[in-house]
């Protein structure tokens, strides 16, 4: 009896599913391409009538999925008031539809969500194991595990902070759910978010947050952004490798994420951020940073520089041989970074749309050109094209294209790639030596300088043809010329960011020094951090 | 018996081994070592960071031969290891009091 009922239920379910599928197909066939035009001819209806949505409106709402646009727009008049009602005499005629176009869109679009889920995993792959291996290979044998440990520490630590308050500090504020502290607004408007917003991930669900995406679940978006927050402090490790205590890294990174990263992220990417030029019409500085040239690369590179100066040089710097212990690991790590970076850059479109497609293309071009140009300089100036040169050139290409990838055309990406193989190269080989500081794995030369060049070149090569969003808030700034007003906005963004990174890092470094001290004892440093701080060795036997 | 200890450039090891084989030397001990003599170290720059290389990699060959073979062996090593450039290495010769082959317990020249 039970089995009979189950079979019956299964058949009924399948039949219902097929019927609804056919109904959808019919809708698609009827809608056609003139659905938008038909909807547009509808006279605006007074707010909240008892009208059921028309087939044209529903079709237009579905089309919004393909254009990564607002699915509720077809149901609203020019003032944003609802023009339709999904209930009829108290009965909901279509529960799914009513949910989908309710006050908030309550379920995501499968394709956009799938790409962001994939991108999120790719960006995590950049840190673990990509960056960990890239840096791990560059240090000496006795410190390889310390770098791997630091990268993993940062991954866990950042995630915990993210769930507690970091996500809300960057992406909350002004309209997103309220936390226990009872505030929805920034601590400093447009600059520093309020940790009480989305406290403990409150209100972050599988439903999209239209402030950032109409079609991607907010929890997916949040996890995607978390991966950026993870790789940024991990990049700082490159400047201070082989000579900072694990406990000091723990304290420094906690404070740095909360105060520096979250502030910069909110300013540049927060929906009301003071430097979010693309999306915030009231931005003080109309900056552009597609995937994190200032937030991720300048922040880590310049903070790394400051911290490495405060820390001092490694023992034996300038006397002992500090050459990488395994260029093979570095090579594997750099190649993984390139693959993962597609999620980083192309995923930053927060959709599988035309902008993501362009970002993927420009990322490939700039990286390939960077990886080609850098070792050519090695060859011309030093006589040998080094493998580390290929790896560094690729990473520099990725860094420079990061802020630009969603805003520039392939031709712009080519110039950015050439700059990537040249300017950071010059800083690595010459300027670093002139300054005489111990930026152990060149995080400053590649990420600090590279991120800055990328931010500036975004101002030169951003084109409305590459990204339709540049034609709205920034139409006065992006005028499709090399020396367009956007360049000035980018320079302002760079200066404000630098002040935050340098001042923030100095303060946090001295707080850390006072709390736990920064450097291990001489004996520990000479023996290696692996055996002393972690009780393990990278290579045994 | 004489013990011959030669410090040579690493890439010359094969040639030296063959040259000793040709004159009938049947065994030797080889180790990778580091050191410096007149060649001294030098400064290198890698990725813009300067460092001094004090100790250079070398190969040390040790062999013990009968007295009448010593001059020929030293001559063979010198001929094979010479490049004429600084850093070619050195050969040391010392007397040996006794030698024993462990398996057969042969002593003296019969053991080497």
Mapping DSSP to helix (H, G, I), strand (E, B) and coil, where does residue B6 land? strand
Q: Is residue A308 less than 8 Å (CB to CB) from chain B? A: no
A173 near A184, Cβ under 8 Å? Answer: yes
Contacts of B49 in chain A (CB under 8 A): 317-318, 322, 432-433, 438
Q: Best of B34, B42, B47 to disrupt the A interface by mutation (most A CBs within 10 Å)?
A: B47
A324 band by pLDDT with thresholds 50, 70 and 90: very high
**Residue with structure tokens 């002139």?**
A434
Give CA torsion, residues A272, A275, A278, A282, to 10 deg. Answer: 50
Residue A191 CA: distances (Å) to CA of A15, A170, A285 = 54, 9, 12
How many whole angstroms separate alpha carbon A62 and alpha carbon A70?
10
pLDDT of residue B33: 96
Q: Is residue A323 less than 8 Å (CB to CB) from chain B? A: yes
pLDDT of residue B17: 96
Identify which of A365, A466, A462, A460 has the alpha carbon closest to the alpha carbon of residue A421: A365
Mapping DSSP to helix (H, G, I), strand (E, B) and coil, where does residue B104 land? coil
Proportion of chain A above pLDDT 70, given as a percent: 84
Q: Is residue A436 less than 8 Å (CB to CB) from chain B? A: no
pLDDT at A515 over 90: yes
Kindly identify which residue of chain A lies nearest to residue B43, measuring between CA atoms.
A319
Identify which of A294, A275, A261 has the alpha carbon closest to the alpha carbon of residue A454: A294
Contacts of B47 in chain A (CB under 8 A): 388, 428-429, 432, 442
Could you report the predicted ipTM of this complex, rounded to two decimals?
Answer: 0.72
A303 burial (CB, 10 Å; 0-12 / 13-18 / 19+) is: buried
Q: Is residue B43 less than 8 Å (CB to CB) from chain A? A: no
How many whole angstroms separate alpha carbon A271 and alpha carbon A258?
19
8 Å CB contact of A432 and B50: no
**Residue with structure tokens 């700039």?**
A366
Q: For chains A and B, what is the number of CB pairs under 8 angstroms?
A: 31
Strand ranges for B1-112 from DSSP E: 2-8, 29-35, 42-46, 49-53, 56-65, 89-95
pLDDT of residue A372: 98
Tell me the mean pLDDT in the region A431-441. Answer: 91
Q: Among A319, A430, A431, whose Cβ lies nearest the Cβ of B51?
A: A319
In sequence order, what are the residues at sequence separation of 6 or more whose Cβ sits closer than 8 angstroms to the Cβ of residue A274?
A: A189, A190, A191, A267, A280, A283, A284, A285
How many whole angstroms separate alpha carbon A197 and alpha carbon A181?
8
Question: Bigger pLDDT: A54 or B76?
Answer: B76
Contacts of B50 in chain A (CB under 8 A): 318, 433
Closest approach of chain A CAs to the CA of B44, in angstroms? 9
Q: Among A318, A319, A428, whose Cβ lies nearest the Cβ of B47?
A: A428
Q: Among B47, B51, B53, whose Cβ lies nearest the Cβ of A429?
A: B47
Mapping DSSP to helix (H, G, I), strand (E, B) and coil, where does residue B107 land? strand
Tell me the mean pLDDT in the region A338-343. Answer: 98
Q: What is the DSSP letter of A384?
A: S
8 Å CB contact of A318 and B53: no
Contacts of A317 in chain B (CB under 8 A): 49
Question: Bigger pLDDT: A134 or A44?
Answer: A134
pLDDT at A28 over 60: no
Q: Is residue B47 less than 8 Å (CB to CB) from chain A? A: yes
How many whole angstroms separate alpha carbon A350 and alpha carbon A422?
31
Residue pLDDT, tens place only, A103-138: 444 678 999 999 999 999 999 999 999 999 999 999
> Peptide bond before A435: cis, by omega within 30 degrees of 0?
no
Residue pLDDT, tens place only, A173-226: 665 545 445 556 788 888 999 888 888 998 898 888 888 999 999 999 999 999
């Amino acid at each position: 009896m039970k089995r009979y009922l189950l079979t019956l239920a299964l058949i009924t379910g399948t039949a219902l599913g097929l019927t609804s599928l056919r109904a959808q197909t019919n809708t698609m066939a009827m809608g056609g391409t003139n659905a938008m035009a038909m909807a547009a001819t509808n006279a605006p209806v007074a707010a909240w009538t008892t009208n059921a949505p028309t087939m044209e409106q529903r079709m237009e709402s579905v089309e919004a999925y393909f254009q990564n646009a607002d699915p509720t727009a077809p149901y609203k008049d020019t003032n944003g008031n609802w023009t339709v009602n999904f209930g009829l005499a108290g009965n909901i005629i279509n529960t799914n539809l009513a949910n989908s176009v309710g006050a908030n869109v309550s379920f995501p679009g499968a394709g956009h969500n799938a790409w962001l889920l994939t991108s999120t995993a790719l960006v995590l792959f950049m840190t673990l194991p990509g960056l960990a291996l890239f840096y791990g290979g560059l240090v000496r044998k006795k410190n390889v595990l310390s770098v791997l440990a630091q990268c993993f520490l940062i991954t866990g630590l950042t995630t915990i902070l993210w769930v507690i308050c970091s996500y809300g500090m960057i992406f909350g504020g002004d309209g997103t759910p309220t936390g226990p502290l009872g505030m929805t607004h920034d601590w400093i408007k447009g600059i520093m978010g309020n940790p009480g917003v989305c406290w403990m991930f409150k209100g972050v669900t599988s439903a999209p947050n239209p402030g950032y995406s109409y079609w991607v679940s907010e929890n997916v978006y949040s996890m995607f952004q978390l991966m950026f927050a993870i790789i940024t402090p991990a990049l700082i490790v490159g400047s201070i490798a082989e000579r900072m205590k694990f406990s000091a890294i723990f304290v420094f990174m906690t404070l740095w994420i909360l105060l520096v990263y979250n502030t910069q992220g909110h300013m540049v990417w927060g929906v009301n951020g003071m430097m979010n030029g693309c999306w915030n019409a009231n931005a003080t500085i109309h900056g552009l940073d597609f995937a994190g040239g200032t937030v991720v690369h300048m922040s880590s590179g310049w903070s790394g520089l400051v911290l490495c100066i405060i820390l001092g040089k490694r023992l034996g710097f300038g006397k002992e041989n500090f050459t990488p212990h395994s260029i093979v690991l570095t090579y594997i790590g750099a190649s993984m970074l390139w693959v993962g970076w597609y999620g980083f850059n192309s995923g930053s479109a927060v959709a599988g749309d035309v902008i993501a497609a362009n970002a993927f293309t420009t990322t490939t071009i700039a990286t390939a050109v960077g990886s080609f140009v850098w070792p050519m300089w090695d060859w011309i100036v030093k006589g040998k094209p080094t493998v580390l040169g290929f790896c560094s050139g690729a990473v520099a290409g990725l860094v420079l294209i990061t802020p630009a990838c969603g805003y520039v055309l392939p031709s712009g990406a080519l110039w950015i790639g050439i700059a990537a193989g040249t300017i950071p190269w010059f800083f690595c080989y010459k300027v670093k030596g002139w300054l005489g500081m111990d930026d152990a794995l060149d995080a400053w030369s590649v990420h600090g300088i590279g991120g800055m060049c990328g931010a500036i070149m975004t101002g030169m090569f951003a084109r409305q043809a590459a990204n339709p969003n540049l034609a709205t808030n920034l139409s006065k700034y992006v005028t499709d010329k090399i020396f367009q007003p956007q360049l000035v906005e980018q320079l302002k963004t760079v200066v404000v960011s630098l002040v935050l990174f340098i001042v923030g890092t100095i303060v946090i470094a001295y707080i850390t020094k006072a709390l736990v001290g920064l450097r291990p004892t001489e004996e520990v440093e000479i023996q290696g951090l692996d055996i002393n701080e972690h009780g393990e060795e990278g290579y045994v036997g | 018996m004489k013990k011959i200890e030669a410090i040579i450039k690493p890439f010359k090891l094969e040639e030296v081994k063959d040259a000793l084989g040709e004159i009938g030397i049947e065994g030797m001990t080889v180790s990778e070592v580091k050191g410096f003599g007149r060649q001294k170290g030098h400064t290198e720059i890698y990725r813009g960071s300067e460092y001094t290389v004090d100790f250079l990699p070398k190969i040390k060959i040790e062999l013990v031969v009968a007295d009448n073979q010593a001059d020929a062996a030293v001559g063979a090593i010198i001929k094979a290891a010479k490049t004429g450039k600084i850093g070619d290495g050195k050969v040391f010769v010392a007397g040996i009091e006794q030698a024993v082959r462990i398996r057969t317990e042969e002593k003296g020249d019969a053991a080497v």
